[in-house]
Structure 1
């Protein structure tokens, strides 16, 4: 392994560990404790991208269609999503987030942002360090969006 390979590997390891730990801490921040991480992810997808078919939701979340169907059933029972028949093809059904679902996503994101902002403030980062974190987050988004 060359020095560049070592640096790449060490960076990947450090980034994975830090990202995993941060994500785990942020997942604790929820608007409602009865909405699981998996169900929150479905709601967040629907809020961000609009109505989708179950197959499309399953593909986005990398789960099976039957697994997604179970999640949608639970979310519909809780009044967080509704099923909307397609106007073009009555056999096709779309899943749409309700106002209550939007409120949960919005409140959860707000709580998570506030928790992270509190943690950053507690550490008393300099303006330069905060800019470095913003630049790092942009680089992390490039990795995720590839």
Structure 2
């Protein structure tokens, strides 16, 4: 088998596994969590990257600005984010995560992490070590170009 064929087969297997793991993790949402998955992604982006403008959030999430405006408006109404004027450009709003947003995000992550930790506990030590070694590689693959 050529290197190209091997890479293509690995890509297909990895894509399938990551897709199904993502779907499975998405089902592990807390039943009381009424925040949509796209909105949770916005909360996670703000948590990781800090305060962002609506345009920056839209670009990061790869959605159109009007769609991001609607998502942020819902999050703002629920008290999970606040908008404030940009320090140097009054035409632009900066979106910030609130304590409520952090709490929703943390509860959601804790539930998903607990599910995954439970599944990882069923693996052999060698399997867990293999995943531990693969994690930085997967993170590098997932980084933006």
Q: State which of 132, 135, 140 in structure 2 corresponds to 1:134.
A: 132
Cα distance in 2 between the residues matched to 1:94 and 1:66: 15
SS of residue matched to 1:46: helix
Q: Is there any run of 5+ residues in structure 1 with no aligned partner, and where?
A: none
> What is the root-mean-square deviation of aligned Cα atoms in Å?
1.3
1:68 is aligned to 68
Displacement of 1:53 in angstroms is 0.3
1:3 matched to 2:28? The reply is no
Cα distance in 2 between the residues matched to 1:6 and 1:86: 50
Displacement of 1:28 in angstroms is 1.5
2:92 is aligned to 92
Q: Is there any run of 5+ residues in structure 2 with no aligned partner, and where?
A: none
Cα distance in 2 between the residues matched to 1:101 and 1:30: 15
Displacement of 1:89 in angstroms is 2.6
TM-score when scaled to structure 1? 0.92
SS of residue matched to 1:48: helix
Trace 1:1-146 onto structure 2 (pairs within 5 A): 3-31=2-30, 32-121=32-121, 123=122, 125-145=123-143, 146=145
User: Per-residue CA shift, 1:70-104, capped at 9, x if unaligned?
Assistant: 10011111111111112323222101111000001
Range that drifts further, 53-62 or 30-39: 30-39
Contact 2:33/2:104 (8 A) holds in 1: no
SS of residue matched to 2:25: helix
Displacement of 1:128 in angstroms is 1.9
